[in-house]
Structure 1
Amino acid sequence: MKQPPHGESPAPPTDTAPPTDTAAFTATDTFTSAAPPPHTGTPPPVNTPPLPPPAMRRPAAAPPATERTDPDALAAADRARLIHPHLPGGVTERVVMVEGSGCRLRDAHGREYLDATGGLMLAHVGHGRRELVEAAAGQMARLEYYTSFHEFTNEPSIRLAERLVDLAPAPMERVYVTSGGAEAVDDALRMARFYHHRRGEPDRTWVLARHLGYHGVTYGGAAVTGMPMFHQGFGPMMPGVRHLTPPMPSHPEVYGGGPDRVLPARVART
C-alpha cells in the first residue's frame, strides 16, 4: 500500500458499504460495524489514531431518529437523551410529533392534533409550507450562516432588518437579531441597563415586572418571570427585579385573598 506524503490523509476508498436497513429498528436493536478485514501486515494509514481500549469505547450509535418507525423506540430514545423544559423527571409519557401540514400535526402513532399553540407561538403560518422549505433550502445552499459579530454581516440579516423596520411603528429603526424570545428578553434587560450606564446613571438598574408574567427560562428571563416555580432552586436570582400586582381579578391569590377585599382598600389609600 502506497503511503501518502507526510501530513496528508489517505484518499478515501472508492467503494462504499451497502446502506443499512433501519426500517425495523426497535429500542432493543443495536448497530455494530462490520468485522474488520483480516490483518495483512500492511501498516495503518498515517495520521490515523489507534482505537481506544474496548472498555473506553462508546456503544454503537443509534440511527437518526428520523429513520425509526417504532413509536416506542422514539419515546425511549427521547427519555434517554433529551432534557425537556417544564417536565418533571418522573413523567415518562411522550407525544412524538413526526409530521405537520397547515394547522394540523400527526404523531408517531398516527393520531392527529390541531396545533392551537402554533408550535409554542412560532409557527403561525402553518406547517409544511412548500414555499418556506424552498426558500430555506435555497439560502442554506448559498450560505447557511455567518455571524454578525464585529464588522461582519450577511445579506439575509440585512434584508430582514429592512423589512422589519418597514413594518414597525416609528421611531423603531434598528434591529437586533436573537434566536428566541427568552434570549431577546435577556438582551433587552442588558441594553436597558447599559443605556442608563452610558447616560451617566449607573444606579438605574431596577426592573419592574408582573406577578404571573412569563418571560422565558434563561437567567434574566426567569428572574423577571413572576412565577415561583421558575425561581425555586435557581437562586440567587438576578438582583434589582420587583414584581408588581397584575391586573388580573380572576387570580385572587395574587391580591392577598381576593380583589373584592384588597382592591377597595388600596383604592381608598390612593
Structure 2
Amino acid sequence: MVEHDWLSERFAEHQGRLRGVAHRILGSPGEAEDAVQEAWLRVSRADTGRVENPGGWLTTVVARVCLNMLEARRARREEAAGALPPEPAAPDASFHATGRADPEDEALLADSVGVALMVVLDTLTPAERLAFVLHDVFAVSFGEIGEIIDRSPAAARQLASRARRRVRGAAGATDAARSPKRDIVAAFLAASRGGDFEALLELLDPDAVAGDIRGADAVAAFFAGRAQAARLALVDGVPAAVWSHHGRPKAVFAFTIDEGKITRVTIDADPDRLRDLDIVFLRRPTPGG
C-alpha cells in the first residue's frame, strides 16, 4: 500500500510532463491522454523497488506506449492503402486508381508553420519521430532513447538527425505550399477528380503536353475523372501530385506552369528516382491532431 501511494504521488508529480511528451509525440490531445492512462496501468502493475529516477522511468514508459500507438497508426494506414488497386503496368493507368480519397482533405493547405511541422512529423517513421521529439524537445539522452526503440545510441542519434533535417524544412515547405503553383495543381486535381472538362481546359495552356498527348483538349480529356487517388504533395519542395500504393510512391506528376497555365504534365514512375525524392503530402490534420 505504501509503495502504491508513493507511485501515485510520483505519477501525479510528473503527469503534466508525461502528457506533454505524449502530446508532442502523437500530435493529438486525445491520444496523448489515452497514452498517459495506458502508462499508468502499466506502471501500477510494475515492480518499482529498483526505480531510482521516477521521472525518467515514467517518461520511458509513456514513450514506449506512444511508440506502440504510432506503429499501430502506421499499420492502419498501410492497410487502408491496400484497398487501392494493384500497381498498374503503366504510369497513365496508375493515375486512374479507383480508391476515392476526400478531395477536400487533399486540397486544403498546411497554412502555418505549426501545421507544416505536423505534416512533416507525419512522414517520419515512428522511431524517427520519437527520437526527434524526445531529444530535441525534452532533452532525453540518445542512450535512453536507444533503449526505448531497441537501437544503439548512435542509431538513435542518426534517427533524430534525419528527422531534424526534415523538420527544419517545415517553414520552407509552408512557403512552397502557399505558392500560386500549389493552387493551380490543387485545382487541376479537383477538376480531374470531378471529371470537369471545362475546368481542366481553363487551367491548361492551349499547347499543353502530357507524355505523347498534345493540346489542351486532348490532355483535358485524358485526365478528366482520373485523379481519384492522386494526392497533392511537395516533391523536393515543389507542389506536385503523387500516387502511392501501400504507403510507397508509385508515380509523381510534375507540372510546368507558365503565366498561370499548365504547359506540361510529366509523369515519373521510375522506382530508383522516386526513392530519392523528398515527398511531403499536404492534407488536413486528423481531428484532434
Shorter-chain TM-score tier: under 0.3
Query: Which protein is richer in strand relative to its size?
Result: 2
Q: TM-score, normalised by structure 2?
A: 0.26
Greater RCO, 1 or 2 (C-alpha within 8 Å, sep 6+): 2
Q: TM-score, normalised by structure 1?
A: 0.27
Query: Which protein is richer in helix relative to its size?
Result: 2
Larger-gyration structure (1/2): 1
